[in-house]
Structure 1
């Protein structure tokens, strides 16, 4: 039997505030992650949207599978605020999720506050340098 490195999908099975962001990643729960994150009720997942500047409903499949447990989605769109495409907003609204795009820094801060208030919040955070 060959031994080697097993690459698993990045997943932290719990909810945790984001302690830091920048340099292309995030720090939370005494761990660090390079790349973007999807913070859901089921945990914090590594997330790589196909095109961070043109998000689609397909990028949010994991979130839509947990839609019953999420009321608010904060979308950290990078260094600058970018509006969400109409089709994505419609898909989220159809699932009963209110979406709020903002810069990644603002999304991290808002996520931490809403998480501390035990709100039904999720966050999609695009990594920034």
Structure 2
């Protein structure tokens, strides 16, 4: 791990500088594994596949729902539709959801953060 101490949470809004090799670079740090980029900061995320995502995987999103208008979900190298139960759960939070491969999701997130939008991202790491 390069840069400052990293304990699974980096406060503040950060662009995703790079993705691949099973992780991400942001805020002058590297992280192996998936991440949640939320209004409060970037958190390590246990998800490894979009196939079985459920409401419990998005509890941190629920906690910050008032500050999120759009959630971008990066599903890995391929587009994987979210299950209907999860879509309903996110709809109840009044959060719009866009699902796309992780690379496109990271790029879209960066553009929307730069525009000052109320956006969050759930990004599954890719090799």
TM-score, normalization by structure 2: 0.92
SS state at 1:18 partner? coil
Deviation sequence 1:97-127 (CA, Å, 0-9, x none): 0111100000000000000000000000000
Superposition RMSD in Å: 1.3
* 8 Å CA contact 1:50, 1:59 repeated in 2: no
SS at match of 2:30: strand
Whether the 8 Å CA contact 2:49–2:76 is kept in 1: the answer is no
Query: Which structure 2 segments of 5+ residues have no match?
Result: 1-5
Deviates more, 1:68-77 or 1:8-17: 8-17
Q: Which runs of 4+ in 1 moved over 2 A?
A: 49-52
CA distance in 1, matches of 2:31, 2:50: 17
Q: TM-score, normalised by structure 1?
A: 0.91
Deviations 1:2-45 (A, max 9, x none): xxxxxx85000111000000000000011000000000001000
Who is 2:35 aligned against?
Answer: 37
Would you say the 8 A contact 1:24–1:35 is kept in 2?
yes
Bigger CA radius of gyration: 1
Match of 2:113 among 109, 112, 115: 115
Q: How many equivalent residue pairs?
A: 122
Residue in 1 that maps onto 2:99: 101
Separation in structure 1 between the aligned mates of residue 69 and residue 50 of structure 2, nearest angstrom: 22
